[in-house]
């Protein structure tokens, strides 16, 4: 059985890769696409470290076959900054010490970005429930939630 | 090099043809939030994966003139939540579908997949049972319908015939004064499999319950339609006596197991607690009118 | 010792040096690394909890196309049972049996063989083709089962008090005479407590990539809390000299103690040697949960006696901790830390190391201390209730202070425990009303805790670049934010902008020996060697300036990043900046830099006092933490954001340990919940904001006043939660986790 050839768009750029039919999108990102910013914490959709955007929908890349990327629009952590200009969430995470080891950070940022695009005015509770699928073991979530709320406030104020 | 094949057909006939031809070696891929986990763990080793997400009947939501909804079997919970009307008419079904997993999982997981995976603890099923949903499936021998509670046959097994694919759910028109709700008990606030799940749909007229259905999950090999609980509610004003009777009926209907998620004693005890809480929310929604 | 008081950088919330890479996905964790020609390693693991290995036939695996190497125990250096070989915190007799089973498989998941092949799928298939002849033996997992008279014995060489036993060790600390002490007590509380094994829960599975040249020169990239430990362990287990191994620490995705040990590196090294290809090995989440060391399950009995006025006169603790398959549970932490917050004249604290057929325990954040503190702090709470005293008042009355002889031996120097109690008492959390919610009962609890903290070996280099900036190379993997704090220290010392300091973690070839990241020691130890290195650099800079100005180096001072002539030459020469002196370095004597390697001393233990509010859904038995305040004596918060982060992270782990985390075994002795779905760690929506109060009582023995902060935060948490639940429900929970079925059962028993 030969490999599948997939043509897709990742972070706005057309990309192609070969994969096995049972490879997940996470396998493809971390393997042939060499985009290792998305992390594998569990491979079962329980930790969110592999979070990406699939056609503007927040999903776990470990729960998607790489073959499904054909013709779709994929956004990963690598596409969040614009060159040397960090996204406001990335900047705020740094300023507020909302990361320690960093393994969950890619997923947290992608998920937080998805939240603020959908709901620019989330409450603390809404942030916490939105991010329930992103496990962090280092921070206790406190500074992450604060960073998301502050970024939301600043973005609303037009900063 | 694997010997798995992946197909993404554009039509239902194509999908059924391929699915039926591959027999037990084939699996349907909707959101993949169960299938991929099972493949990764080695529990399932499909020879053919049939991705049904390009088939429009399976991925669309329609509200018909008579007020019923037809929801494609592969519609993700997050998409269902964005429908302008569905959540207003069926808030319980919507919240049940959107309690499955995380935000990421809800971006992909569908009620069809949840039903066909046939976990006794599936979140969407008690609410769909309470709603009186009818499923439409199609196979090599054509199309047929079935009440949703008849679909699960046991843990991991359904009553779909070989080659049949779930097409859609039809939720009946809602009489005025109706409301539904779904609650589940989980130890954390999110991300757990339901220890007990309860769906209630009821209709109130002048404060009297004229119709009710109760679905109870994670307390038996399949999700249960608890007719005795509904009977206890119908004709009552949802007073304490009626609610207690319905709660007892739920506990009595339980045939759970002890497992890593809950014990027989615990599940049986809280089934009644959940019934009361769920019925209260459904009643509040019914009284507020749809 | 100069405690810097007038600070520009110390105490600032600077951006961590590794931060931009981490928020953009560029940071290289071990599984992100690749090498040309790399192949994949996989492990075959025992399905049995306890079995003699009679034979292993790897021939079919070796014949599978794509398989490049197979390793079994005979490829690993044997350390005979009769000779203890200590390496760091481990004994090599156990390590060589842990990394791969030798005579027996001792837990389900115990590695039995390893394969390297061109794809992961082929390596996995090859593992399935290895034929192992097991003689299955009876097994015991729970402490009670392992201690029964007829219990299956894990190790025929293990004797305790003359008899074959599953008790692998005993530790005792004693002060005064508890018989006399309890005789004076007017109120005595005695309780027995049990806890389940819990995992450190790091989100990044273990991973490594190893390349071995034909002459055994080896390069290891791995996720670990100690590249020197990786080098040493690998050397000991493979027989390669340490000088042939270069261990490079990748960014680490969480450790909490669980990565102070190796599982993969020696196997990958042997596979790489045999195959001639670089070998990558990455654990799955299931492998992490089944086969890496969670902490001990435990059974503890604690008895505390006091006079009616609240003076504690005697305390006794007996702590049984599971070691798992091989000796080494953290009884030292339970025995040594649990009574340390208090000045008690008569103490007997005894710990037993209990073998059982589950994975060998690995360190978990203040190992042993949270288990002991759970028991002691709950008994303190009950004692306060019996004495009708406020629980913080009881602790204040008996608090350890400077001059107190701790139960575990040392006399305390200046410590900050009382300050944490006072800060907790004064905090609004302690006095604000709990509020009410229908159908819920609320309660508030407090607890304290202590952890030793460590010093130990550390090395650093501070080198001035030719353009006048600074590169600091340190020796410990950064799991908490230590690079940021070290940059703060170095910028402060040199008087330059923080952004001009680059902090890197050296590998074993590029920095001197540095002990593990753990023991809350990284900043403590690194700051000492960085300070001494920076002081040497400053001496050199002053000498260079002195030479240029033709004055005595004693008459040059270093201030604000430049050399200034001090009196009597003050004002006579323009200051010479770091950049100017660096530019002149080649002519003025050569490179400007210094390195220091030390066994650092002067580490002082840390104390914490926590306040917890819970809300219980009484019909369902669900406990939620609705408010939490952690007060800790942190010495000096060099980077407050990351000190707070350590406190908040430890609290979250403790809440999980208290409420929902536990290893569940099925009837076949296998872990039933080896994944994040059913191993229930706190998710974002489970927790409230976690407020922190950092009490700064500087450590007088440290140049910046630093005390370790990373481990103390976990120690008081379970008791704080349990005491809050008691306050809400009037029931004492002596068994963790306080999961809903257990809480509901207790409530129903109460009536």
* Helix locations, C427-576, DSSP H: 428-431, 482-494, 522-549
The mean pLDDT value for B80-109 works out to 97
DSSP string, C238-270: H---GGGEEEEEPB-S--TTTTSS-SSHHHHHH
Helix (H, G, I), strand (E, B) or coil at A84: coil
CB contacts of A148 in chain C (<8 Å) are none
Contact C461, C533 (CB under 8 A): yes
> Closest chain A residue to B190 measured between Cα atoms?
A132
pLDDT tens-digit series, residues C172-226: 999 999 999 999 999 999 999 999 999 999 999 999 999 999 999 999 999 999 9
> pLDDT value at position C155?
97
Dihedral class, residue A66 (left if φ above 0, else alpha if ψ from -120 to 50, else beta): alpha
Subunits with at least 3 CB pairs below 8 A relative to chain B? Answer: A, C
> Closest chain B residue to A126 measured between Cα atoms?
B103
Q: Report the residue of C658, C740, C743 to disrupt the B interface, i.e. the one with the largest count of B CBs within 10 Å.
A: C740
Contact A127, A145 (CB under 8 A): yes
C564: its two tokens = 């200034």
Contact C400, C340 (CB under 8 A): yes
**B-contacting residues of C 472-491, CB under 8 Å?**
none
CB contacts of B103 in chain C (<8 Å) are none
**Angle at A154 (CA atoms; ends A149, A157), nearest 5 degrees:** 130
Q: How many CA atoms are closer than 13 Å to the CA of C433, on its beta-carbon side? A: 3
- B188 and C CB contact within 8 Å: yes
Contact: B49, A111; criterion CB under 8 Å: no
CA A86 to chain centre: 15
Contact: C660, B261; criterion CB under 8 Å: no
Q: Strand (E) positions, B120-277? A: 134-139, 142-147, 152-154, 157-158, 165-171, 178-185, 196-205, 208-217, 224-225
What's this model's pTM, rounded to 2 decimal places? 0.97
Contact A139, A53 (CB under 8 A): no
Task: Tell me how far apart the alpha carbons of residues C61 and C271 are, in angstroms, rounded to a whole number.
Answer: 14
Contact: A97, C642; criterion CB under 8 Å: yes
Q: Are strands C470-474 and C456-464 parallel, antiparallel or unpaired?
A: antiparallel
Sign, CA torsion B118/C671/C290/C64: negative
Nearest to C20 among A37, A44, A94 (CB): A94
Contact: B104, A65; criterion CB under 8 Å: no
Spans of chain A below 50 pLDDT: none
Measured in degrees and rounded to the nearest 5, phi and psi for residue B234 equal: -70, 135
> pLDDT value at position C454?
87
The mean pLDDT value for B233-239 works out to 97
**B240 Cβ neighbours under 8 A, 6+ residues apart:** none
> pLDDT value at position C748?
86
pLDDT tens-digit series, residues C629-663: 999 999 999 999 999 999 999 999 999 999 999 99
C479: its two tokens = 């799991």
> pLDDT value at position C1?
36
> pLDDT value at position C5?
59
pLDDT of residue C622 exceeding 70, the answer is yes
Task: Tell whether ipTM is more than 0.95.
Answer: yes
CB contacts of B266 in chain C (<8 Å) are 621, 740-741, 744-745
Average pLDDT, chain C: 96
Longest dimension (CA), chain B: 66
Contact C535, C494 (CB under 8 A): no
Average pLDDT, chain B: 97
pLDDT of residue C2 exceeding 60, the answer is no
The mean pLDDT value for B45-74 works out to 97
Listed residue (C440, C318, C332) closest to C724, CA to CA: C440
Contact: B4, A65; criterion CB under 8 Å: no
pLDDT of residue C751 exceeding 80, the answer is no
CB contacts of A99 in chain C (<8 Å) are 19, 22-23
**B114 Cβ neighbours under 8 A, 6+ residues apart:** B34, B97, B100, B122, B123, B124, B125
pLDDT tens-digit series, residues C263-289: 999 999 999 999 999 999 999 999 999
Contact: A22, B102; criterion CB under 8 Å: no
Contact: C683, B190; criterion CB under 8 Å: yes
**C-contacting residues of A 55-74, CB under 8 Å?**
none
> Closest chain B residue to C739 measured between Cα atoms?
B187
- A37 and C CB contact within 8 Å: yes
Contact: A97, C251; criterion CB under 8 Å: no
CB contacts of A56 in chain B (<8 Å) are none
**Angle at C618 (CA atoms; ends C616, C624), nearest 5 degrees:** 20
Q: Report the residue of B102, B109, B187 to disrupt the A interface, i.e. the one with the largest count of A CBs within 10 Å.
A: B102
Sign, CA torsion B194/B196/B199/B205: negative
Sheet with C556-559, strands from edge to edge, namely C556-559, C562-565, C576-577
DSSP string, B228-256: HHHHHHTTS---HHHHHHHHHHHHHH---
Dihedral class, residue B216 (left if φ above 0, else alpha if ψ from -120 to 50, else beta): beta
Task: Tell me how far apart the alpha carbons of residues B105 and B119 are, in angstroms, rounded to a whole number.
Answer: 16
Task: Tell me how far apart the alpha carbons of residues B264 and A32 are, in angstroms, rounded to a whole number.
Answer: 48
> pLDDT value at position C480?
84
- B4 and A CB contact within 8 Å: yes
Contact: A58, B49; criterion CB under 8 Å: no
Nearest CA of chain A to the CA of C13: how many Å? 8
pLDDT tens-digit series, residues C533-546: 999 999 999 999 99
CB atoms closer than 10 angstroms to residue B136: 16
CB contacts of A65 in chain B (<8 Å) are 6, 29, 32, 36, 49, 51
CB contacts of A115 in chain B (<8 Å) are 103
- B190 and A CB contact within 8 Å: yes
Task: Tell me how far apart the alpha carbons of residues B81 and B98 are, in angstroms, rounded to a whole number.
Answer: 8
> Closest chain A residue to C479 measured between Cα atoms?
A101
E strand or H helix that includes residue C646 = helix C640-659
> Closest chain B residue to C673 measured between Cα atoms?
B260
pLDDT of residue B289 exceeding 80, the answer is no
Listed residue (B32, B72, B70, B69) closest to B49, CA to CA: B32
Sheet with C104-105, strands from edge to edge, namely C104-105, C51-57, C131-136
Listed residue (C740, C151, A55, C683) closest to B185, CA to CA: C740
- B11 and A CB contact within 8 Å: no
> pLDDT value at position C6?
64
Contact C22, A99 (CB under 8 A): yes
B1 — pLDDT class (breaks 50, 70, 90): very low
Helix (H, G, I), strand (E, B) or coil at A30: helix
DSSP letter at A119? -
Nearest to C683 among A78, A95, A135 (CB): A135
> Closest chain A residue to C201 measured between Cα atoms?
A137
Nearest to C660 among B188, B270, B273 (CB): B188
Residues of chain B with pLDDT > 90, as a percent, come to 98
Three-state SS string across C345-394, please?
CEEEEEEEEEECCCCCCCCCCCCCHHHHHHHHHHHHHHHHHHHCCCHHHH
Task: Tell me how far apart the alpha carbons of residues A34 and C711 are, in angstroms, rounded to a whole number.
Answer: 36
Task: Tell me how far apart the alpha carbons of residues C151 and C16 are, in angstroms, rounded to a whole number.
Answer: 52
Contact: C254, A101; criterion CB under 8 Å: yes
**Angle at C119 (CA atoms; ends C115, C125), nearest 5 degrees:** 55
- B270 and C CB contact within 8 Å: yes
Contact: B36, A132; criterion CB under 8 Å: no
Instruction: Name residue, tokens 């029931």.
Output: C731
pLDDT tens-digit series, residues C223-236: 999 999 999 999 99
Task: Tell me how far apart the alpha carbons of residues C472 and C506 are, in angstroms, rounded to a whole number.
Answer: 9
Task: Tell me how far apart the alpha carbons of residues C29 and A36 are, in angstroms, rounded to a whole number.
Answer: 9
């Amino acid at each position: 059985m030969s490999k599948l050839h997939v043509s897709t768009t990742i972070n706005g750029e057309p990309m192609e890769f070969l994969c096995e039919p049972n490879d997940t999108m996470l396998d493809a990102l971390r393997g042939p696409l060499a985009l290792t910013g998305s992390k594998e914490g569990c491979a079962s959709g329980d930790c969110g470290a592999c979070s990406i955007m699939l056609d503007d929908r927040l999903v776990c890349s470990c729960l998607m076959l790489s073959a499904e990327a054909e013709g779709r629009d994929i956004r990963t952590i690598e596409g969040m900054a614009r060159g040397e200009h960090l996204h406001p969430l990335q900047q705020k995470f740094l300023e507020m010490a909302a990361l320690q080891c960093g393994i969950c950070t890619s997923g947290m940022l992608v998920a937080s970005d998805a939240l603020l695009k959908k709901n620019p005015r989330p409450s603390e509770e809404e942030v916490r429930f939105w991010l329930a699928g992103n496990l962090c073991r280092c921070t206790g979530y406190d500074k992450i939630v604060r960073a998301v709320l502050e970024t939301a406030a600043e973005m609303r104020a037009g900063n | 090099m694997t010997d798995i094949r992946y197909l993404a057909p554009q039509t239902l006939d194509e999908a059924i043809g391929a699915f039926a031809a591959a027999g037990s070696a084939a699996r349907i891929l909707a959101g993949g939030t169960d299938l991929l986990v099972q493949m990764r763990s080695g529990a399932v080793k499909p020879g053919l994966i049939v991705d049904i997400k390009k088939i429009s009947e399976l991925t669309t939501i329609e509200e018909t003139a008579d007020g019923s909804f037809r929801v494609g079997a592969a519609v993700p919970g997050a998409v269902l939540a964005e429908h302008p009307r569905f959540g207003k008419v069926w808030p319980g079904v919507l919240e049940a579908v959107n309690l499955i997993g995380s935000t990421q999982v809800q971006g992909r997981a569908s009620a069809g997949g949840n039903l066909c995976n046939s976990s006794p603890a599936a979140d969407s099923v008690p609410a769909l049972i309470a709603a009186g949903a009818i499923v439409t499936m199609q196979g090599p021998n054509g199309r047929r319908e079935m009440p949703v509670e008849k679909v699960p046959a046991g843990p991991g097994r359904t009553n779909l015939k070989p080659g049949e694919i779930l097409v859609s759910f039809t939720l009946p028109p809602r009489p005025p004064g109706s409301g539904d709700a779904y609650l589940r008990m989980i130890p954390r606030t999110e991300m757990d499999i339901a220890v007990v799940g309860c769906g209630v749909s009821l209709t109130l007229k002048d404060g009297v319950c004229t119709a009710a259905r109760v679905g109870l999950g994670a307390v038996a090999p399949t999700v249960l339609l608890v007719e005795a609980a509904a009977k206890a509610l119908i004709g009552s004003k949802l007073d304490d006596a009626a609610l207690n009777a319905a709660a007892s009926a739920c506990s009595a209907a339980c045939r759970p197991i002890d497992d890593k998620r809950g014990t027989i004693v615990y599940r049986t005890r809280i089934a009644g607690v959940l019934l009361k809480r769920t019925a209260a929310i459904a009643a509040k929604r019914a009284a507020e009118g749809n | 010792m100069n405690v810097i008081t007038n600070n520009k950088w110390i105490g600032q919330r600077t951006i961590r040096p590794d931060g931009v890479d981490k928020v953009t996905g560029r940071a290289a964790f071990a599984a992100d690394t690749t090498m040309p020609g790399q192949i994949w390693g996989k492990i075959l693991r025992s399905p049995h909890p306890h079995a003699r290995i009679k034979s292993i036939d790897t021939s079919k695996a070796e014949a599978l196309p794509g398989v490049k190497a197979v390793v079994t125990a005979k490829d690993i250096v044997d350390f005979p049972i009769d000779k203890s070989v200590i390496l760091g915190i481990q004994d090599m007799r156990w390590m060589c049996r842990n990394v791969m089973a030798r005579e027996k498989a001792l837990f389900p998941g115990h590695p039995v063989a390893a394969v390297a092949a061109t794809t992961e799928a082929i390596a996995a298939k090859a593992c399935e083709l290895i034929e192992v002849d097991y003689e299955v033996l009876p097994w015991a997992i729970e402490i009670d089962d392992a201690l029964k008279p007829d219990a299956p014995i894990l190790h025929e060489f293990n004797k305790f008090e003359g008899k074959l036993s599953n008790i692998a060790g005993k530790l005792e600390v004693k002060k005064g005479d508890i018989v006399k002490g309890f005789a004076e007590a007017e109120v005595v509380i005695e309780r027995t407590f049990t806890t389940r094994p819990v995992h450190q829960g790091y989100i990044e599975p273990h991973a490594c990539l190893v390349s071995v040249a034909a002459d055994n020169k080896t390069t290891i990239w791995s996720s670990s809390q100690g590249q020197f430990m990786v080098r040493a362990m690998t050397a000991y287990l493979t027989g390669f000299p340490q000088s042939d191994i270069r261990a490079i620490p990748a960014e680490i995705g969480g450790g909490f103690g669980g990565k102070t040990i190796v599982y993969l590196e020696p196997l990958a090294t042997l596979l790489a040697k045999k195959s001639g290809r670089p070998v990558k090995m990455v654990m799955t989440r299931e492998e992490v949960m089944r086969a890496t060391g969670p902490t001990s399950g435990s059974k503890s009995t604690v008895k505390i006696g006091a006079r009616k006025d609240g003076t504690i006169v005697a305390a006794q603790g007996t702590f049984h901790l599971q070691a798992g398959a091989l000796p080494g549970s953290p009884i030292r932490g339970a025995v040594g830390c649990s009574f340390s917050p208090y000045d008690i004249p008569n103490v007997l604290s005894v710990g037993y190391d209990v073998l059982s057929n589950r994975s060998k325990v690995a360190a978990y954040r203040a190992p042993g201390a949270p288990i002991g503190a759970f028991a002691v702090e709950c008994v303190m709470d009950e004692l306060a209730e019996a004495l009708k005293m406020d629980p913080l008042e009881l602790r204040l009355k008996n608090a350890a202070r400077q001059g107190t002889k701790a139960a575990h031996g040392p006399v305390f120097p200046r410590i900050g425990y009382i300050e944490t109690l006072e800060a907790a008492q004064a905090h609004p959390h302690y006095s604000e009303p709990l509020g009410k919610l229908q159908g819920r009962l609320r309660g508030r609890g407090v607890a304290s805790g202590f952890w030793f903290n460590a010093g130990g070996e550390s090395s650093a280099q501070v080198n001035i670049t030719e353009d006048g900036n600074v590169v600091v190379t340190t020796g410990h993997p950064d799991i908490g934010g230590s690079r940021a704090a070290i940059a703060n220290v170095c910028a402060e010392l040199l008087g330059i902008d923080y952004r001009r300091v680059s902090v890197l973690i050296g590998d074993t070839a590029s920095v001197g020996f540095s002990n593990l990241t753990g023991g809350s020691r990284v900043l403590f130890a690194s700051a000492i060697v960085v300070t001494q290195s920076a002081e040497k650099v400053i001496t050199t800079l002053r000498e260079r300036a002195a030479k240029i100005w033709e004055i005595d180096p004693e008459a040059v001072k270093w201030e604000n990043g430049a050399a200034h002539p001090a009196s009597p030459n003050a004002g006579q020469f323009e200051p010479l900046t770091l950049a100017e002196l660096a530019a002149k370095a080649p002519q003025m004597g050569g490179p400007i830099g210094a390195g220091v390697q030390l066994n650092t001393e002067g580490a002082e233990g840390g104390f914490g006092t926590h306040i917890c509010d819970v809300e219980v859904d009484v019909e369902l038995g669900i406990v939620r933490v609705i408010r939490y305040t952690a007060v800790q004596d942190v010495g000096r918060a060099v980077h407050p954001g990351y000190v707070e982060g350590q406190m908040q992270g430890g609290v979250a782990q403790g809440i999980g340990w208290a409420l929902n985390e536990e290893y569940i075994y099925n009837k076949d002795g296998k872990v039933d919940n080896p994944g994040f779905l059913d191993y229930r760690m706190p998710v974002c929506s489970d927790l409230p904001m976690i407020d922190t109060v950092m009490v700064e009582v500087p450590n007088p023995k440290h140049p910046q006043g630093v005390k370790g902060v990373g481990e103390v935060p976990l120690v008081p948490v379970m008791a704080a939660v349990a005491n809050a639940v008691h306050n809400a429900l009037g029931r004492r929970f002596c068994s963790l986790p306080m999961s809903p079925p257990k809480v509901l059962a207790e409530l129903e028993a109460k009536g």
